[in-house]
Amino acid sequence: MSKPSHLAPKVRATLTDVAAHAGVSVGTASKALSGTGRMRPETRQRVLDAVRALDFRPNQQAQSLHSGRSWTVGLMTTDGIGRFSTPVLLGAEDALGAGKISVLLCDTRGDAIREQHHLRNLMDRRVDGIIVTGRRTDPRPPLSGIHDGVPVVYALSPSMDPEDISVVSDDAQGCRLAIEHLLAIGRSRIAHVTGPGHHAAAQDRARYTRTLLDEASLELSTGRVHFGDWSEAWGRRAAEAVLRAAPDTDAFFCGNDQIARGVTDTLRERAVRVPEEIAVVGYDNWDTMALAARPPLTTIDVDLTEIGRVAALRLLAAIDENPQPGGVQVPCRLVVRESA
Amino acid sequence: MSKPSHLAPKVRATLTDVAAHAGVSVGTASKALSGTGRMRPETRQRVLDAVRALDFRPNQQAQSLHSGRSWTVGLMTTDGIGRFSTPVLLGAEDALGAGKISVLLCDTRGDAIREQHHLRNLMDRRVDGIIVTGRRTDPRPPLSGIHDGVPVVYALSPSMDPEDISVVSDDAQGCRLAIEHLLAIGRSRIAHVTGPGHHAAAQDRARYTRTLLDEASLELSTGRVHFGDWSEAWGRRAAEAVLRAAPDTDAFFCGNDQIARGVTDTLRERAVRVPEEIAVVGYDNWDTMALAARPPLTTIDVDLTEIGRVAALRLLAAIDENPQPGGVQVPCRLVVRESA
């Protein structure tokens, strides 16, 4: 069986081919392409015409040696490529691709030895910069072993060093959107069910929630935050506990969509009408979870793609020697569906 | 505020530094490193000692120009980086990373112009090979515009050209595991609920299911396959339809875990005991879905990470001029939880 014609090998034109086609020396062709050296405009035009005719593309490796830039950026995820890092990667890849920069993917899986291995490799490949991302919003130690002049941007998981460039979600504003929405629809007995207390995401959202209720002269319906884990099973159990402790609860604000979905499942089984009797707001806007819930979840979209995009733009600015150090907070959006 | 010391710039040793440290000329240092040229063993050893002392690492770009290999592989996803392509990427990155090959990430989002753009870029960067992956198991047209000698491996989404290297999941064997398990636990009135009829994954699994039941002299409990979409909502609706049409149904084999979860939710609300009265088997082993279902789902694990790993190993073999063209089917595993 013969291979179809679209798989036929293409022979790449070389600079020698271009020079021969234009009737000039290789040296002249090279100068015409780099814009250096003196020559008649017609000569330069003949070379450029030959480049087009032969679809000549200069070897990027050779170009890199010349320009000192590799037009390559490292994208390092610290804890696997999962639901959180994927949209960040996509946003970054999108912004970088538009600038014709290639992305070298490294996954360190939270392992310090893997991180050092990847980092040495990225340095050896002379990347122009690095974006670091991870699932957790807890601040992480800055990368060590970066060569001078190679900028690093931290996305979603900020650096512990406040002088580093870190692009994160604005959790304070996200919580404000959620609580203000619940207050606007007349709720005043609000419970907060969230993930593990040792995760910054859970701790921060709980603190903001308390502060916002305090501003409205309200308290949590059960008098405390319900820390647990990020699962539906925890949401189901916590809903039972909240209804036992504070039967007059009229809203749940949950630390993520899985918890919120678990809460709605418990309410559904107890024949509590959502949102008429009890409203539920999630966090993340993970569509698979939010749309499959009954009813579909009102939730806070943390705009992970935008975090990736902003991180890439900051990195490009830093590569162009226009760094804007410090933290950037990307705003959240309230997505209103049926649960609140 | 001063930067912490781990961010202090590192000055890279150059070949000149190595030569000076070893007390030889730059030319001799270069020959000692490349293993070319004649010199006394002691001289070569002095150079190698200097390399270690100075932590000298040769510029990979310069090395690539010399070896003709870039030690870089393109990883192209055709429809976003999602739940299916992510484990494939991870498996590939793992296998390639062990061979010290870097991964250039490209996401074409099913757009032909983006695909061509990325492909030109990968060719310009002289990648040693390309892995193409996507969400759909439907065969896809081979990449066009690949230079001679650059091998391509298709993972999960096979190439339409049977001479290309394609690594896919063994759906026939996966369906056999599911149906044999249901028969082994005494079920004979099996319904099949799955995704859209125009998706190969749905069509193939339906055909294998019919064949397997036929081998056991059985028929589908409702006499037909229930094609729909890959969602929980469809699973919930389809379960109602199946119970109406064939109340004696004693098992559901579902085309994915979301559908299976929808089925279990409907059964739960109708107070049908799972698996005692009706068993449910899913497909994919998407843990978020399978573990949150009540009861947790027995399902078929398609081992996406292994597909990525095998694809990377095939690519490495092809790069080493030992290609093994044609299809590779990676076996599935039955994961028994509580639903069957």
Please report, to the nearest 10 degrees, the dihedral formed by the alpha carbons of residues A161, A167, A172, A178 taken in order: -150
B82 burial type by CB count under 10 A (0-12 exposed, 13-18 middle, 19+ buried): middle
- Asked if A125 contacts A72 with a C-beta cutoff of 8 angstroms, the reply is yes
Distance CA B266, CA B271 (A): 9
> Which CATH number fits the domain that encloses residue A147?
3.40.50.2300
**For residue B145, which residues of chain A lie inside 8 Å, CB to CB?**
6, 10
Residues 6 or more apart from A176 whose CB is under 8 A from it? A208, A212
Query: A167: left (phi > 0), else alpha (psi -120 to 50), else beta?
Result: beta
State the nearest Cα–Cα gap between A78 and chain B, in angstroms.
Answer: 13
Q: Does some domain include residue B78? A: yes
Distance CA B132, CA B119 (A): 11
Distance CA B76, CA A131 (A): 19
B5 burial type by CB count under 10 A (0-12 exposed, 13-18 middle, 19+ buried): exposed
Residue A142 identity (one-letter amino acid):
P
Residue B301: is its pLDDT beyond 80?
A: yes
| Tens-digit pLDDT profile for residues B19-31 | 888 888 777 877 7
B61:A61 CB<8 A: yes
Q: Do both B100 and B247 map to the same domain?
A: no
Which value does ipTM take for this structure? 0.74
> Which of the residue ranges A228-237, A279-288, B78-87 would you say has the lowest mean pLDDT?
B78-87
Domains held by chain A: number: 3
pLDDT at B313: 92
pLDDT at A56: 72
Q: Does some domain include residue A81? A: yes
Residue A81 — very low, low, confident or very high, per pLDDT cuts 50/70/90? low
pLDDT at B68: 66
A86:B82 CB<8 A: yes
- Residue in this structure with the two tokens 């890849």, named with its chain if needed: A93
Q: Do both A92 and A18 map to the same domain?
A: no
Residues 6 or more apart from A327 whose CB is under 8 A from it? A158, A162, A166, A167, A168
pLDDT at B23: 87
> Nearest by CB to B103, which of A10, A61, A104?
A104
A103:B104 CB<8 A: yes
Within 10 angstroms of residue B215's Cβ, the number of other Cβ atoms is 11
Q: Do both B24 and B92 map to the same domain?
A: no
b/e for B35-59, b at 16 or more Cβ within 10 A?
eeeeeeeebbebbbebbeebebebb
Q: Do both A119 and A266 map to the same domain?
A: no
Query: Pick from B218, B169, B156, B173: which is nearest to B192 by CA?
Result: B218
State the nearest Cα–Cα gap between B219 and chain A, in angstroms.
Answer: 31
pLDDT at B135: 84
Average pLDDT on A211-219 reads 97
Q: Do both A217 and A229 map to the same domain?
A: yes
A124:B59 CB<8 A: yes
Q: CA angle at residue A288 from A282 to A293, to 5 degrees?
A: 55
Q: Do both B112 and B215 map to the same domain?
A: no
Q: Does some domain include residue B67? A: no
Q: Do both A126 and A50 map to the same domain?
A: no
Residue A34 — very low, low, confident or very high, per pLDDT cuts 50/70/90? low
Residue A1: is its pLDDT beyond 50?
A: no
> Nearest by CB to B126, which of A61, A82, A93?
A61
| Tens-digit pLDDT profile for residues A5-31 | 444 334 567 777 888 888 887 778 777
The helix/strand/coil state of A339 is coil
> Nearest by CB to A70, which of B10, B61, B65?
B61
Q: Give the domain-ending residue among B34, B58, B82.
A: B58
A233:B100 CB<8 A: no
A105:B82 CB<8 A: no
> Nearest by CB to A93, which of B3, B107, B142?
B107
pLDDT at B6: 42
> Nearest by CB to A93, which of B103, B105, B142?
B105
Residue B66: is its pLDDT beyond 80?
A: no
B65:A62 CB<8 A: yes
**For residue B162, which residues of chain A lie inside 8 Å, CB to CB?**
1
Residue A20's domain comprises 5-58
pLDDT at B11: 56
Residue A154: is its pLDDT beyond 60?
A: yes
What is the share, in percent, of chain A residues with pLDDT greater than 70?
Answer: 90
Residue A119: is its pLDDT beyond 50?
A: yes
pLDDT at A332: 97
> Which CATH number fits the domain that encloses residue A51?
1.10.260.40
Q: Give the domain-ending residue among B58, B83, B103.
A: B58
> Which of the residue ranges A82-86, A239-243, B208-212, B323-327 would you say has the lowest mean pLDDT?
A82-86
Residue A3 — very low, low, confident or very high, per pLDDT cuts 50/70/90? very low
Residue B15: is its pLDDT beyond 80?
A: no
Residue B291: is its pLDDT beyond 60?
A: yes
Phi and psi of A144, rounded to 5°? -115, 150
**For residue A145, which residues of chain B lie inside 8 Å, CB to CB?**
6, 10
At A190, which helix (H) or strand (E)? strand A190-194
pLDDT at B256: 97
Residue A165: is its pLDDT beyond 90?
A: yes
Residue B322 or residue B216, greater confidence: B216
Tokens of A73: 């950026």
Q: Does some domain include residue A65? A: no
A148:B60 CB<8 A: no
Q: Does some domain include residue A211? A: yes
Mutate to test the interface with A, among B105, B128, B236 (most CBs of A within 10 A): B105
State the nearest Cα–Cα gap between A288 and chain B, in angstroms.
Answer: 9
**For residue A103, which residues of chain B lie inside 8 Å, CB to CB?**
104-106
pLDDT at B67: 57
Q: Do both B124 and B49 map to the same domain?
A: no
**For residue A142, which residues of chain B lie inside 8 Å, CB to CB?**
4, 6-7
Residue B35: is its pLDDT beyond 90?
A: no
Which residue(s) pair with B166 in the sheet?
A: B154, B327
Q: Does some domain include residue A340? A: no
Tokens of B112: 């032909």
Average of per-residue pLDDT values in chain B:
88
DSSP B128: S
Average pLDDT on A156-171 reads 94
pLDDT at B58: 59
Query: Pick from B29, B291, B26, B148: which is nearest to A11 by CA?
Result: B148
| Tens-digit pLDDT profile for residues B75-115 | 998 866 677 878 888 888 888 877 678 889 888 888 888 88
> Which of the residue ranges A73-77, A272-276, A296-300, B320-324 would you say has the lowest mean pLDDT?
B320-324
- Residue in this structure with the two tokens 């170009």, named with its chain if needed: A63
Distance of CA B25 to the CA centre of its chain: 49
Distance CA A16, CA A59 (A): 13
Q: Does some domain include residue A86? A: yes
> Nearest by CB to A90, which of B80, B94, B258?
B80
Q: Do both A150 and A243 map to the same domain?
A: no
B148:A124 CB<8 A: no
Distances from the Cα of A25 to the Cαs of A39, A40, A49, B47, in angstroms? Answer: 12, 14, 15, 40
Q: Do both A262 and A281 map to the same domain?
A: yes
Q: Do both A54 and A202 map to the same domain?
A: no
What is the β-pairing status of strands B72-77 and A333-335?
A: unpaired
| Tens-digit pLDDT profile for residues A186-201 | 999 999 999 999 999 9
Q: Do both B186 and B275 map to the same domain?
A: yes
Residue A293: is its pLDDT beyond 70?
A: yes
Residue B64: is its pLDDT beyond 70?
A: no
B338 burial type by CB count under 10 A (0-12 exposed, 13-18 middle, 19+ buried): middle
Average pLDDT on A296-303 reads 97
Q: Does some domain include residue B41? A: yes
> Which of the residue ranges A77-91, A125-139, A184-198, B155-169 would you say has the lowest mean pLDDT?
A77-91
